[in-house]
């Protein structure tokens, strides 16, 4: 979460484990991340 997150690394982990990686700048948007994860 935030600008210090290593998104390419998180995407690599997600790809290897069948998951997903989502970029989030505002912690108040965490509900949207969960919703997007459920819909994909």
Q: Convert the pLDDT of each residue in 1-40 to its tens digit.
A: 778 889 999 999 999 999 888 888 888 999 988 998 888 7
Identify the pLDDT of residue 40: 74
**Nearest CA among 9, 25, 27 for reference residue 17:** 9
Identify the pLDDT of residue 18: 92
Query: What's 21's DSSP letter?
Result: -
Q: How far apart are alpha carbons 37 and 40 in whole angstroms?
A: 5
């Amino acid at each position: 979460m935030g600008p210090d997150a290593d998104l390419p690394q998180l995407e690599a982990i997600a790809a290897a484990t069948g998951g997903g990686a989502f970029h989030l700048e505002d912690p108040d948007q965490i509900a949207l991340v969960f919703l997007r994860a459920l819909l994909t």
